[in-house]
Amino acid sequence: MAYPDDLLQYAKQMAEAYPNEAHQPSLRRALSSAYYALFHLLIADAVAHCSDPRFRSALGRLFDHGPMKHVCENTVESIKNLFHPTPPDDPERTVQYHLHNVADTFSQAQQKTEPY
């Protein structure tokens, strides 16, 4: 899982590169790197459950930004009314709450990293 962690560390460094100003190129690079960290983290988690490790690399290359964003948007839409802004006490609904947050974050981050 080093690659997503490295990307996230780089994003943090870029975001803090100009502490006294909102340096747009650095902030855009930070957002883009954070998005790619999440993208690769989700893929790594998904392929880790593949029962045959020989296929994990090939399976990981099948993931695509557009369809993943579409799935995330559908997930957010389908479960958004299941809870309030705080996680519920029910463990299953707590998982859905966190899934909603990850899906929403992924979708928004991808949208903000798209070219103008």
CB 104 within 8 A of CB 73: no
Contact assessment for residue 35 and residue 113, using Cβ atoms and an 8 Å cutoff: yes
- Maximum alpha-carbon separation in the chain: 50
Q: What pLDDT sits at residue 17?
A: 92
Can you tell me the distance from the alpha carbon of 11 to that of 27, in angstroms, rounded to the nearest whole number?
8
User: Where do the domains of the chain lie?
Assistant: 1-63, 64-116
Average pLDDT, stretch 53-63? Answer: 92
Express each pLDDT in 90-107 by its tens digit: 787 788 888 888 999 999
Q: Distance between CA 113 and CA 40 in Å, rounded?
A: 15
d(CA 61, CA 115): 23
Tens of pLDDT along 61-96?
999 999 999 999 999 988 877 765 566 677 877 888
Query: Quick one: pLDDT band at residue 19, thresholds 50, 70, 90?
Result: confident
This model's pTM is above 0.75 = yes
